[in-house]
Amino acid sequence: MSDALQDILVTPAEMAAIDQDAARSGIDSFSLMRSAGMAVSAAALRLFPAARRFAVLCGPGNNGGDGYVAAAALARCGANVVVFALGDPAMLKGDAAHARNACTLETGAIAAYEPQSGDVVVDALFGAGLSRDLPDEARTIVERVNESGLPVLAVDLPSGIDGHSGEVRGASFIAAHTVTFMAAKPGHLLMPGRARTGTLEVFDIGIPARLVTARSGDLRVNTPAIWKRHAACLDPGTHKYKRGHLAVLSGGQMSTGATRLSAAAGLRAGAGLVTLASPADALGVNASHLTAVMLKEIRNAADLADWLKDKRLNAFVLGPGFGVGKKARDFTLMLCDRALVLDADGMTSFQQGRKELFEVIAASGGEVVLTPHEGEFARLFSEIAADGALSKIEKAQAAAKLSHAVIVYKGPDTVIAAPSGRAVVNANAPPWLATAGSGDVLAGIIGAHLAQGMPAFEAAAAAVWRHGETAIRAGRTATAETLVENIPPLA
Ligand SMILES: NC(=O)C1=CN([C@@H]2O[C@H](COP(=O)(O)OP(=O)(O)OC[C@H]3O[C@@H](n4cnc5c(N)ncnc54)[C@H](O)[C@@H]3O)[C@@H](O)[C@H]2O)[C@@H](O)CC1
Ligand SMILES: [K+]
């Protein structure tokens, strides 16, 4: 696999255009199908050496074509193979018809497939060309196979998963492994597609990388390659002020835990100084729990304005445990010209009146990161959330454009998007990261990166990735406190 394609995400529409470009450039399209089918048969033999029988289910398009190539190759290797077709194989066209004609195995109608113990199902029904819900006949087989619990090897995508959005179109296979071609698709990483893809193998079938990159947009998997250039300057030997001063704004005395988590995470993640800005009633409880994090009394907007005269205060976290209301709105609007992570209550405070927030962000020239989970996203960006035609990536991109802020749209498939349209999908977070207080820790890590001078998009992407690594280190029994202790070095 070419390095240039390592982290790229390509939508099905872009992939179709790449196919056409490849054909136009003189590449034999059937040779691509042969490579694809051979890769599937190799994966089948490698992953399921004890299979008693491979049941190859072939659909009406080129995904089915890959299936016929794979079936023939498996049979040539001496495997026991049965082939079933959705629709009339005589209706196949082009490369798929060629592949079918070259496969001498008898082909049954799909309804006749009865799962047997020892079967491995090779799913070549639909791939990138799926454009609507699965037809009933396919649905019946998908449900029969899913109920059987047999392992499924998916060709390109588990049939029924929309490669653009990751949504289930009526029903879908739950694959143990998926072999896709040239580049991963959004549907492999976005939920629920991600949970149904199994392990993902991206196989290079020989389309030149330049044809792929020419059509692909600014969409990537979130890996260190995205932000490592900006992380390299985070040298632990730097004078502490160069590592920035992060301020976390605390809520009242009954809700201080969340902000202390953010502050502790900010310190651990590398901010030079961290101060918890606390209202008077919470000073006592905050003081009794803090050591390395400093404490400052900030009662109201006038106090904050006075404190902001210190220009070394360069990054802020506002939201965890802060409380929803006018104070949150007033404070936020004063902080937009620095670097600000607006989380939880901070965002919810602008459910009505978001226009003012977005205008201030646009005018301020600061680095603002909004970190909504699904519920918060629906509250702040209701019309975008309700648009069923948009994938999670497109929703995050639309929200970033509207708000002029970097959006961290959280979930098991967190998407980070910039107002420019640039976006990455995170893929390293284990399921146990969804623990109480986990979002507060993330806000603190983003704040630490901002304090150290990383641009907002890279700061957010690096923090989301680091948060995922943190959870892996902390293990399955992770709590917010053990997450903080396990934040790994970034650079
Ligand atoms: N990307 C590439 O460069 C290559 C792609 N290949 C394969 O080609 C596949 C894409 O082929 P196609 O574009 O033919 O698409 P598919 O084989 O995924 O789908 C077949 C056709 O079924 C129809 N269809 C879509 N949704 C349907 C539904 N719910 N019910 C009934 N019919 C439906 C559409 O007209 C679609 O073109 C990829 O998934 C991959 O497996 C390979 O052959 C090798 C080269
Ligand atoms: K498939």
Per residue of the chain (491 residues), give pLDDT as tens: 677 788 999 999 999 999 999 999 999 999 999 999 999 999 999 999 999 999 999 999 999 999 999 999 999 999 999 999 999 999 999 999 999 999 999 999 999 999 999 999 999 999 999 999 999 999 999 999 999 999 999 999 999 999 999 999 999 999 999 999 999 999 999 999 999 999 999 999 999 999 999 999 889 999 999 999 888 666 666 655 578 999 999 999 888 899 999 999 999 999 999 999 999 999 988 888 888 889 999 999 999 999 999 999 999 999 999 999 999 999 999 999 999 999 999 999 999 999 999 999 999 988 999 999 999 999 999 999 999 999 999 999 999 999 999 999 999 999 999 999 999 999 999 999 998 999 999 999 999 999 999 999 999 999 999 999 999 999 999 999 999 999 999 87
Which pLDDT belongs to residue 189? Answer: 98
Residue 106 alpha carbon to ligand 1 centre in Å: 22
Is 428 part of a structural domain of the chain?
yes
Q: Specify the ligand 1 atom closest to the Cα of 133.
A: 29
Please give the structure tokens belonging to residue 76.
């040539």
Cα 161 to ligand 1 centroid, rounded to whole Å: 12
pTM: 0.95
Output the 3-class SS for the chain: CCHHHCCEECCHHHHHHHHHHHHHCCCCHHHHHHHHHHHHHHHHHHHCCCCCEEEEEECCCHHHHHHHHHHHHHHHCCCCEEEEECCCHHHCCHHHHHHHHCCCCCEEEHHHCCCCCCEEEEEECCCCCCCCCCCHHHHHHHHHHHHHCCCEEEECCCCCECCCCCCECCCCCCCCEEEEECCECHHHHCCCHHHHHCEEEEECCCCCHHHHHHHCCCEEECCHHHHHHHHCCCCCCCCCCCCCEEEEECCCCCCCHHHHHHHHHHHHCCCCEEEEEECHHHHHHHHHHCCCCEEEECCCHHHHHHHCCCCCEEEEEECCCCCCCHHHHHHHHHHCCCEEEECHHHHHCCCCCHHHHHHHHHHHCCEEEECCCHHHHHHHCHHHHCCCCCCHHHHHHHHHHHHCCEEEECCCCCEEECCCCCEEECCCCCHHHCCCCHHHHHHHHHHHHHHCCCCHHHHHHHHHHHHHHHHHHHCCCCCHHHHHHCCCCCC
56 CA to middle of ligand 1, Å? 16
203 and 228, same domain (yes or no) = no
Ligand 1 pocket list (CB less than 6 A):
15, 19, 32-33, 36, 59-66, 126-135, 155-156, 181, 205, 207
CATH number of the CATH domain containing 28: 3.40.50.10260
Among 19, 32, 62, say which to mutate for ligand 1: greatest number of ligand atoms within 8 Å of CB: 62
CB 95 within 8 A of CB 60: no
Tell whether 89 and 60 lie within a shared domain: yes
Domain enclosing residue 121, as ranges: 3-217
Residue located nearest, by CA, to atom 15 of ligand 1 = 129
- Identify the pLDDT of residue 287: 84
Same domain, 259 and 330: yes
Q: Give the domain CATH number at 332.
A: 3.40.1190.20
Burial of 294 (0-12, 13-18, 19+ CB in 10 A): middle
Specify whether 199 is located in the same domain as 343: no
Hey, whose CA ends up nearest to atom 21 of ligand 1? 61
490 within domain boundaries: no
Looking at the CA of 36, which ligand is closest? Answer: 1
Specify whether 11 is located in the same domain as 137.
yes
Rounded Cα distance, 78 and 49, in Å = 12
> What pLDDT is recorded for position 292?
87
Q: Do residues 366 and 419 touch, judged by C-beta distance below 8 A? A: no
284 plus 140 within the same structural domain: no
Last residue of a domain, which of 217, 252, 284?
217
Of ligand 1's atoms, which has the minimum distance to the CA of residue 64? 17
Total structural domains within the chain: 2
Q: Among the three residues 189, 217, 245, which one is the final residue of a domain in this structure? A: 217
Whether residue 369 is found in the same domain as residue 244: yes
Indicate which residue's Cα is closest to atom 42 of ligand 1: 33
What pLDDT does residue 388 have?
94
pLDDT of residue 227: 93
Cα 130 from Cα 142, distance rounded (Å): 15
Examine the domain organization and report whether 45 and 159 are in the same domain.
yes
Residue type, 440: D
Same domain, 176 and 291: no
203 lies in the same domain as 271: no
Report pLDDT for 111.
97
Is 39 in the same domain as 165? yes
Atom of ligand 1 nearest to the CA of 124: 41
CA-proximal residue: ligand 1, atom 13 (nearest): 129
For ligand 1, mutation pick of 28, 100, 130, 142 (most atoms within 8 Å of CB): 130
Residue at a domain's end among 199, 217, 235: 217
ipTM of the complex: 0.97
Pocket residue to mutate for ligand 1, from 24, 34, 131, 201, most atoms within 8 A of Cβ = 131
Task: Output the CA 158–ligand 2 centroid distance in Å.
Answer: 5
Q: Which of 18, 24, 63 to mutate to test the pocket of ligand 1 (most atoms within 8 A of CB)?
A: 63
